[in-house]
């Protein structure tokens, strides 16, 4: 039986000592989706720790918009800080404005336009590497695309090539490690267990590679027209340059925040297009009209409307970042509840996106729900979070995903071809387990009548 304590309901089913740890580890998405039935603010227990899950969009918005009271905190953020240094994604409110101001210019529209050239080059290399009738492991391919593109956006200089390689090879173990370390009790984190050793080794390798690149940029004087060069030139409000440690933390943060999320989004998008061949064909009409069979560029973006809606709908169904935490820095009032200081709050884009009270037919893939003439309730689509801590790379990710998906669909027919449908695997990101897709070249295929119409 759920109990209500001053506006916060306690989720039923907590076991002595471990609380809700079992359902949360076994099937976290199902567990989360049971919570709104108990109230808008539902307390869960993980061993000795408790957390309040926020189950209504407008309350999530209040949390996101008041980042001074609902500050970054909680077990995942602690681990992220430990793995990456106190970069923009994990630093507290008191340090955030300064960090955001130093990074924001690197994600301006003018810069994005430059980065799109790198994106187009990498997408071209990816899709021309496929052959007719081949089965591709989409997750690995999209990871390669996202890691290569983002690493080259951060550091383009030839001297950085070994770092790009070391970092992209180390990141999968770092992602896994951060998540495992966040859910493991502190004692187990320190034991030399194989996953802990793998994580430490990967983190040290990436850490050293980024340090070496910063030193070599400082020595050669640059600039190289990339994010690292920009950070080296940046001065804070007091006119002071950023320290190596600060630059290091930001570069590691951008790599970790940007790569897996974007790769996972693209992987789900390809999977959904296989599951919904009618949407794939409609998208082919659009992309063939705009691109023919060439690779998409920045200038094409305004005409790739459906592609953008497909990505948006993918992010609604499978938001790569599916769970985030905040910690109250002071007593707060949320709905009818008084929340004491140091309370951990959880918000989950997955939970909000799949709640039938806020999104009709929430489990159906329907890109047209994002047509401008359709009505949308504010706060019900939050794949990039919101408020001052909203994703810094949202436009970067949307650009890369739109260009990549459009190019793929214009050149290749995608099908699961009898291969198993992937299961969802919630880790740091909401990744599908192994998406295998058969790709058929459209190059020699005459445009079908259905597409011409
Ligand atoms: C589809 C891809 C992506 C998704 C779904 C995504 C999602 C998110 C979300 C939900 C947050 C807010 C987390 C919170 O509220 O605690 C966030 C923050 C952030 N993201 Fe992304 N992200 C994506 C791609 C990227 C890319 C490509 C970059 C950069 C290269 C990036 C950089 C960041 C940074 C720096 C933050 C921290 C912002 C701050 O605290 O000021 N993300 N992202």
pLDDT value at residue 450: 44
pLDDT value at residue 1: 56
CA of 382 to the centre of ligand 1 (A): 11
- How far apart CA 52 and CA 45 sit, in angstroms, is 9
What beta strand segments (E) does 202-330 contain? Answer: 324-328
pLDDT value at residue 2: 63
Any atom of ligand 1 within 6 Å of the Cβ of 323: no
CA of 390 to the centre of ligand 1 (A): 7
Among 122, 257, 351, the mutation site with the greatest number of ligand 1 atoms within 8 A of its Cβ is 257
Query: Does residue 367 belong to any structural domain of this protein?
Result: yes
Query: Does residue 287 belong to any structural domain of this protein?
Result: no
Query: Does residue 372 belong to any structural domain of this protein?
Result: yes
- How far apart CA 402 and CA 311 sit, in angstroms, is 7
CA of 383 to the centre of ligand 1 (A): 9
CA of 119 to the centre of ligand 1 (A): 18
Q: Whose CA is nearest to atom 16 of ligand 1?
A: 324
Query: Does residue 375 belong to any structural domain of this protein?
Result: yes
Any atom of ligand 1 within 6 Å of the Cβ of 265: yes
Q: With beta carbons less than 8 A apart as the criterion, state whether 206 and 252 touch.
A: yes
Query: Does residue 359 belong to any structural domain of this protein?
Result: yes
Query: Does residue 189 belong to any structural domain of this protein?
Result: no
pLDDT value at residue 371: 95
CA of 114 to the centre of ligand 1 (A): 20
Any atom of ligand 1 within 6 Å of the Cβ of 81: no
- How far apart CA 90 and CA 81 sit, in angstroms, is 6
Q: At what angle do helices 277-291 and 394-411 cross, to 10 degrees?
A: 90
Q: What angle do CA 160, 162, 163 make, to 5 degrees?
A: 65
Among 247, 261, 269, the mutation site with the greatest number of ligand 1 atoms within 8 A of its Cβ is 261
Q: Can you tell me which atom of ligand 1 is nearest the CA of 325? A: 16
Q: Whose CA is nearest to atom 17 of ligand 1?
A: 391
Q: Which two tokens stand for residue 369?
A: 């729900």
Neighbours of 246 (CB within 10 A): 22
Q: Can you tell me which atom of ligand 1 is nearest the CA of 77? A: 16
pLDDT value at residue 452: 42
CA of 320 to the centre of ligand 1 (A): 10
- How far apart CA 17 and CA 48 sit, in angstroms, is 7
CA of 402 to the centre of ligand 1 (A): 17
Any atom of ligand 1 within 6 Å of the Cβ of 100: yes
Any atom of ligand 1 within 6 Å of the Cβ of 254: yes
Any atom of ligand 1 within 6 Å of the Cβ of 264: no
CATH, residue 331? 1.10.630.10
Number of domains present in the structure of the chain: 1
Query: Does residue 106 belong to any structural domain of this protein?
Result: no
pLDDT value at residue 453: 40
- Check residue 359 and report its DSSP letter: S
Query: Does residue 216 belong to any structural domain of this protein?
Result: no
**Tens-binned pLDDT, residue by residue, of the chain (453 aa):** 566 667 899 999 999 988 898 888 889 999 999 999 999 999 999 888 899 999 999 999 999 999 999 999 877 787 788 778 889 999 999 999 999 999 999 999 999 999 999 999 999 999 999 999 999 999 999 999 999 999 889 988 777 788 888 888 898 888 888 877 776 767 777 788 888 899 999 999 998 999 999 998 888 877 788 999 999 999 887 888 899 999 999 999 999 899 999 999 999 999 999 999 999 999 999 999 999 989 999 999 999 999 999 999 999 999 999 999 999 999 999 998 999 999 999 999 999 999 999 999 999 999 999 999 998 888 999 999 999 999 999 999 999 999 999 999 999 999 997 777 778 877 788 988 889 999 999 986 655 444 444
Q: Which domain holds residue 335?
A: 1-85+322-382
The CA-atom distances, in angstroms, between 157 and each of 123, 140, 344 are 20, 25, 42
Q: List CB contacts of 404: < 8 A, sequence separation 6 or more.
A: 119, 123, 126, 142, 145, 266, 296
Any atom of ligand 1 within 6 Å of the Cβ of 89: yes
Q: Whose CA is nearest to atom 2 of ligand 1?
A: 262
Any atom of ligand 1 within 6 Å of the Cβ of 287: no
- How far apart CA 253 and CA 269 sit, in angstroms, is 24
């Amino acid at each position: 039986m759920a109990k209500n304590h001053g506006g916060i309901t306690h989720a039923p089913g907590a076991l002595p000592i471990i609380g809700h740890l079992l359902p949360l580890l076994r099937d976290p998405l199902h567990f989360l989706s049971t919570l709104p039935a108990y109230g808008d603010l539902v307390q869960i227990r993980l061993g000795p720790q408790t957390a309040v899950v926020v189950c209504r969009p407008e309350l999530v918005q209040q949390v996101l918009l008041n980042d001074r009271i609902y500050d970054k905190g909680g077990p995942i953020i602690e681990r992220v800080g430990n793995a990456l240094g106190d970069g923009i994604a994990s630093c507290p409110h008191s340090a955030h404005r300064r960090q955001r101001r130093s990074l924001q210019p690197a994600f301006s529209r003018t810069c994005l336009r430059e980065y799109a050239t790198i994106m187009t080059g990498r997408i071209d290399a990816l899709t021309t590497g496929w052959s007719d009738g081949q089965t591709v492991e989409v997750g690995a391919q999209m990871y390669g695309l996202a890691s290569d593109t983002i690493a080259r956006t951060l550091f383009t200089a030839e001297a950085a090539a070994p770092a790009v390689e070391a970092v992209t090879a180390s990141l999968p173990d770092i992602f896994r490690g951060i998540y495992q370390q966040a859910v493991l009790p502190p004692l187990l984190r320190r034991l030399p267990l194989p996953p802990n050793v793998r994580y430490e080794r990967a983190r040290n390798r990436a850490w050293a590679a980024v340090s070496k690149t910063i030193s070599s940029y400082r020595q050669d004087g640059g600039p190289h027209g990339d994010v690292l060069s920009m950070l080296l030139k940046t001065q804070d409000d007091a006119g002071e340059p950023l320290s190596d440690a600060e630059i290091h933390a930001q570069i590691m943060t951008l790599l970790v925040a940007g790569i897996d999320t974007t790769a996972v989004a693209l992987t789900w998008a390809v999977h959904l297009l296989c599951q919904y061949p009618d949407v794939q064909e409609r998208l082919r009409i659009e992309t063939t009209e705009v691109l023919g069979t060439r690779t998409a560029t920045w200038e094409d973006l305004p005409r790739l409307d459906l592609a953008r809606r497909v990505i948006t709908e993918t992010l609604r169904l499978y938001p790569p970042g599916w769970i985030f935490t905040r910690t109250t820095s002071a007593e707060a009032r949320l709905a009818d509840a008084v929340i004491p200081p140091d309370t951990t709050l959880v918000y989950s884009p997955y939970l909000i996106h799949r709640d039938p009270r806020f999104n009709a037919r929430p489990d159906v893939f329907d890109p047209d729900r994002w047509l401008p003439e359709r009505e949308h309730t504010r706060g019900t689509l939050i794949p990039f979070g919101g408020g001052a801590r909203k994703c810094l790379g949202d436009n970067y990710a949307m650009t890369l995903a739109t260009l990549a998906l459009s190019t793929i669909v214009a050149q290749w027919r995608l099908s699961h071809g009898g291969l198993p449908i992937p299961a969802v695997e919630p880790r740091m990101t909401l990744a599908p387990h192994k998406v295998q897709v058969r790709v058929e070249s459209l190059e020699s295929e005459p445009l079908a009548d259905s597409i011409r119409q």
